[in-house]
Structure 1
Amino acid sequence: MNVVRAVKQYVIKMTEQSGPGMKILLLDKQTTSIVSMVFTQSEILQKEVYMFENIEISSQCDYENMKHLKCIALLRPTKENIALLCKELKNPKFGSYYIYFTNIIPKADIKTLAEYDEQESVREIEELYADYLPILPHFFSLNIPLCSNGHFWDPTHLIRSSQGLVALLLSLNKNPIIRYQASSEMSKRLAEKVKETITKEEKLFDMRQGDAVPVLLIIDRTCDPITPLLTQWTYQAMVHELLTINNNRVDLSHVTDISSELRQVVLSYEQDDFYSSNLFMNYGEIGQTIKLLMDDFTEKAKSHQKVESIQDMKAFVETYPQFKKMSGTVSKHVALVSELSNIVKHRHLLEVSELEQELACQEQHTVHLSRLRNLLQSGKGRIRDIEAVKLVMLYAIQYEHHSNNDLAGLINILRSNGVAESLVQMPLHVLDYSNEHSKYSSHHDRFSTTQDVMVKKTQRFLKDLKGVENVYTQHQPVLKDILDDLVKGKLKESLFPYLDSHGIGREGVKFFQDVIVFMVGGTTYEECLCVHQMNTSSSSNNVRGIILGGTTVHNSTSFMNQVKSHKI
């Protein structure tokens, strides 16, 4: 299972099916983002695609003498796109049209398009199930920042989420057993919506799957409000937390004295070898790796300065494109790591993160309360208000039921420090958010017995002895515990019931070779790392592969916006 490869193969297919000749690629806003995740513009040019147009803009343009061009349209099957396509086909600007939809299109819409195609310019209409953003081979997003109205699905986003999941299943050729978080009505509604489509489109889902039983597990962000609040220390996660990754792009325009070509940089798993090799490296390691990259580049730069013969000139011409690409890679990642370093230093994130990790992973109320008070009272002007509030939010979650809980006192300190009231209320909001459901596994009820608690605490303590770097990476997402139980066949049916067992007895579905996890309310890069580690670990031998996706990919800022939206 590889979502990047699945989408990339779809794009290759549609560019090749139209045959040789000059082409224009007609996209909508969403499919523009999807294609850009797996192909650069130069790579698309190699497929004889010489123009790119947005369908909304194209419908307003008066093109002339474009009949020599073939139009390849990759669009989401929305009512708006169908209407724009009908307008396009009624007065076609291009010689022929090859139309591809990223999801299931109703037959009635195909009939409507046929009626408008009076000049018979359409050569192909096909469904290519590329209706999601492939970030990494095992990680995808639907790019829906806020999917709910308060505590319930926004109806539009429920439909979009079910469509995205259906497309994902079809692109991977999977007809799964569906399980969902019993305490989450949103998870159940999405599970039912996906199952409804699978039943309706039974021919599309008539797949040979052998003995392997794929499972789609739908869970809710509310089961783990801690993970999105933590400062991250692996490269990809740090960039998203401190700078934000949006459709593989990072905005550095705010950086002082940044060169114009580095104001917007692309971080692509497919096109950036350095990034794909180091995205899970921790903060300390990435600095050393950048130094090695720079040393290598310096050596190559010296060799390019020695052009003394015809043979040297030939070698220079042959290697210059690679050298130029390497130069761009070095500049980009040096700029990123330098800015990360500046932010870590100026926001005192090492000190903040150490306390965050302790609040998330340990139970020492007196010690934590004292340290937190001291940091808040002495930290005004030293740590940002947002970091102070996140620490209090973590305290609120961890010690919600502690007999000596002093959340009110901490909130008063925030107020006395002049923190905005909207932020001061966030610790209370996150409690409402995390208590919205009887959680599968919060910090205090993650394990069902005292023995389980002691075993887990001992394991975590032993892990922390391995090195100082673990001070900042102690935390394990709740998702890790859920997946551990799932792959061992121990995930409780009372907590995660089956929507439909396909007629297979419970004994026949204890182990799954393919697992797709979808998190309603968004996932994180820390959870992405967790799944990557499980995929590469021998302890996950019961599964062939795990894929993780969500309505969005959170950093702490977007997650806090989501928590706030639940109060609306």
Structure 2
Amino acid sequence: MGITLHLLLHSDRDPIPDVPAVYFVMPTEENIDRMCQDLRNQLYESYYLNFISAISRSKLEDIANAALAASAVTQVAKVFDQYLNFITLEDDMFVLCNQNKELVSYRAINRPDITDTEMETVMDTIVDSLFCFFVTLGAVPIIRCSRGTAAEMVAVKLDKKLRENLRDARNSLFTGDTLGAGQFSFQRPLLVLVDRNIDLATPLHHTWTYQALVHDVLDFHLNRVNLEESSGVENSPAGARPKRKNKKSYDLTPVDKFWQKHKGSPFPEVAESVQQELESYRAQEDEVKRLKSIMGLEGEDEGAISMLSDNTAKLTSAVSSLPELLEKKRLIDLHTNVATAVLEHIKARKLDVYFEYEEKIMSKTTLDKSLLDIISDPDAGTPEDKMRLFLIYYISAQQAPSEADLEQYKKALTDAGCNLNPLQYIKQWKAFAKMASAPASYGNTTTKPMGLLSRVMNTGSQFVMEGVKNLVLKQQNLPVTRILDNLMEMKSNPETDDYRYFDPKMLRGNDSSVPRNKNPFQEAIVFVVGGGNYIEYQNLVDYIKGKQGKHILYGCSELFNATQFIKQLSQLGQK
């Protein structure tokens, strides 16, 4: 498009009267006012207005009136509704726009004092984004959702919005070119709307795969990780100011081949792969140096000359691959820094111990040590780690612990410095949830140590993994994945048999019967109302690998890590 300057709408901008301006904004009151001000001030030659979600007629009239008053009607060249009110983090993952995350957060949906009007606003915000998503996809989904939840409210509203748009044949966004270009043009996709409350243990779970660990323990937002690099220990005189830590940002994107290959791998495999890449890079670098030194050969004998011409070809090849080599070095440095930062957290907080213990709790496996011992161990993790572990135990337990046992746990948690507000909320949630009698089942899984670390453990390794368990995951389906599997494969299962069914293309909005022709779906979108996480995303990615020709997209109203989620639980527990 030849865009030469990128500016924020509400920044101070100087007039550039001979340049066209492209606006890409949400149609909020504040943004519309600022655009009208720009028209009045004659800032640009022409205006191309792109709205992230559909602009209302009244706001469009406000812009028209401002353009008329400023004699700038001819300068407004184009006005578009772009229907892009969502953020794509991966080819198969999206979240709602995050300008006002608090509006659609788990806390906002579940707070006891929420009014009907506020709840309507939350649901409308989620539905608007999902509508944008399906317009962009160019497909009208079949919708399934659980009953009596926020997910059902979203389903009813989305069905109505899609139905109204399809009925208006002249202005429908799902006809003609759009539908033909859609990724799902041959078969309609399934949209599974699930409520966060069906599984509160997974968002609290300590994880073991690279991407989920980065999100859990580091500052990772919109595919960018921010690290604080320690400047090393300095021999500074007593009383001197400590040296400030350098902050570095890295983008972890699809262009990063190492990230694409290993983001779903268990952490010890990642550490080993970084080490292998480093050794491979050093070998290539040494080869270039060796060839350079050979090029300085002395002597005129035939052998030397023939060797020179042979090595010239090799050096030319090596030089041409230099940009590739430099990029490889950049990625190795990046992942060495990121993986080292993750490893520091694993070792300092014994995250391998937490991960293994939680897996056993969630899969109802025999526990090898007492929960009280871990909570009481001053060297095992932060107060938040201990709280996460106990909440997972409490959520997953078939029967809640007795009052006497609970008091003992609460005392140990308090002694460890834990805030008990999250537990207060989970107790209320468990009392009200229908699931209380049948907690979410996490399948049978075991984590078994394997001999992957032998090479990583050697003295030349960048990663001293000593004392860290090498746990390798065994595939298990989390509740969200299991629900998707039932609905996508049209399996009969008590867990999903009463899920509501909506088809916005049907003339009558009657959801009482699921069609008799039970053909499995090839494409599905899972959307979690109340927030999602990389653990669920990775679980779905692993699940679909074994299903040839099938595709899944994962979406959520917000993407949070355990720290952010437990903060919301704490706020709910204060009420």
What is the TM-score normalised by the length of structure 2? 0.77
2:95 touches 2:555 (CA, 8 Å); kept in 1? yes
Could you tell me which of 350, 353, 358 is aligned with 1:356?
Answer: 358
Counterpart residue type for residue 352 of structure 1: Y
Mapped to 1, the partners of 2:260 and 2:335 lie a distance apart of 12
* Counterpart secondary structure, 2:254: coil
Larger radius of gyration: 2
1:446-485 pair list within 5 angstroms: 446=440, 457=444, 460=445, 476-485=477-486
Q: Equivalences for 1:255-404 in 2 at 5 Å?
A: 255-257=230-232, 263-302=247-286, 321-362=323-364, 364=366, 367=367, 371-377=370-376, 379-399=377-397, 401=399
Matching of residue 408 in structure 1 with residue 407 in structure 2: yes
1:204 pairs with one of 169, 173, 179: 173
In the TM superposition, what is the alpha-carbon distance from 1:135 to its structure 2 partner? 1.0
Shift of 1:114: 3.1
Q: Does the 8 A contact of 1:223 with 1:434 survive in 2?
A: no
Quote the Cα distance in structure 1 between the aligned partners of 2:391 and 2:359. Answer: 13
The code of the aligned residue for 1:297 comes to Y
Amino acid at match of 2:387: V
User: d(CA) in 2 for partners of 1:214 and 1:558?
Assistant: 32
Name the amino acid aligned to 1:126: F
Cα offsets for 1:330-382 (capped at 9, x unmatched): 22111111111111111112222221111111154xx57x61122223x0244
Q: State the alpha-carbon separation in 1 of the partners of residues 87 and 244 from structure 2.
A: 28
> For residues 305-324 of structure 1, what are the alpha-carbon distances to aligned partners after superposition, in whole Å with 9 as ceiling and x for unaligned?
67679999987886555444
Give the structure 2 partner of residue 167 of structure 1: 132
| In the alignment, structure 1 residue 115 sits paired with structure 2 residue 65 | yes
> Would you say the 8 A contact 2:198–2:440 is kept in 1?
no
Q: What code does the residue aligned with 1:351 have?
A: V
Q: Which has a greater percent of helix? A: 1
Alignment of 1:189-228 (within 5 A): 189-202=153-166, 203-206=172-175, 207=179, 212-228=187-203
User: 1:535-565 CA distances to partner (integer Å, 9 max, x unpaired)?
Assistant: 3223x65xx3211111112211111122223
* 8 Å contact from structure 1 (residues 249, 266) kept in 2: yes
Which range is displaced more, 430-439 or 325-334?
A: 430-439
Give the 3 Å change call, closer, same or farther, for CA 112–332 of structure 1 in structure 2. Answer: same
Please list every run of 5 or more consecutive structure 1 residues that lacks an aligned counterpart in the other structure: 1-14, 16-47, 448-452
- 2:228 alignment partner, SS class: coil
* 1:445 Cα offset (Å): 4.6
Report whether the alignment pairs 1:532 with 2:541: yes
Matches within 5 A, 1:54-65: 54-57=8-11, 60-61=12-13, 63-64=14-15
What CA deviation, in whole Å up to 9, does each residue of 1:110-153 have, x standing for no partner? 34323333322222222223221111111111242525150556
1:68 & 1:92 partners in 2: Cα distance? 10
Alignment check: 8 A CA contact 2:145 2:155 kept: yes
The aligned counterpart of 2:88 is 134
Alpha-carbon distance between aligned partners in 2 of 1:285 and 1:352, rounded to the nearest angstrom: 19
| 1:93 match | 43
Residues 502-511 or 239-248, more deviating: 502-511
Closer, same or farther: CA 505–237 of 1 in aligned 2, 3 Å: closer
Structure 2 letter corresponding to 1:481: R
Residue 32 of structure 1 corresponds to none
Q: Which amino acid aligns with 2:134?
A: L
Secondary structure of the equivalent of 1:204? coil
Report sequence identity in percent: 19
Out of 285-294 and 136-145, give the one that drifted further. 136-145
What is the CA-CA distance between 1:408 and the residue it aligns to? 2.4
Letter in 2 for 1:394: I
Residues in 2 aligned to 1:466 and 1:251: alpha-carbon distance in whole angstroms: 32
Please provide the CA RMSD for this pair.
3.4
Q: Is the 8 A contact 1:92 1:121 kept in 2?
A: no
Specify the alignment match of 1:427 in structure 2.
423
User: What's the secondary structure of 2:408's corresponding residue?
Assistant: helix
* Deviation for aligned residue 1:96: 2.2
**CA distance in structure 1 between the partners assigned to 2:8 and 2:270 by the alignment:** 38
Pick closer, same or farther for the CA change 1:409–1:473 going to 2, 3 Å.
farther
Give the structure-1-normalised TM-score: 0.78
Cα pair 2:206 2:355 within 8 Å, conserved:
yes
Distance 1:436 1:404 in 2: 18
Q: Which runs of 5+ in 2 are unaligned?
A: 167-171, 234-242, 297-311, 452-468, 507-512
Q: Supply the distance in 2 between the matched residues of 1:381 and 1:320 (Cα, whole angstroms).
A: 47
Structure 1 residue identity aligned to 2:174: F
Of 549, 553, 556, the residue aligned with 2:562 is 556
Aligned to 1:102: 52
Change in 2 beyond 3 A, CA 1:224/1:80:
same
Q: Paired residue for 1:513, among 497, 516, 522?
A: 522
Q: Which amino acid aligns with 2:141?
A: P
1:476–1:536 distance in 2 versus 1, CA, 3 Å: closer
Partner of 1:233: 208
Shift of 1:512: 2.2
Per-residue deviation, 1:301: 4.0
Q: Which amino acid aligns with 2:140?
A: N
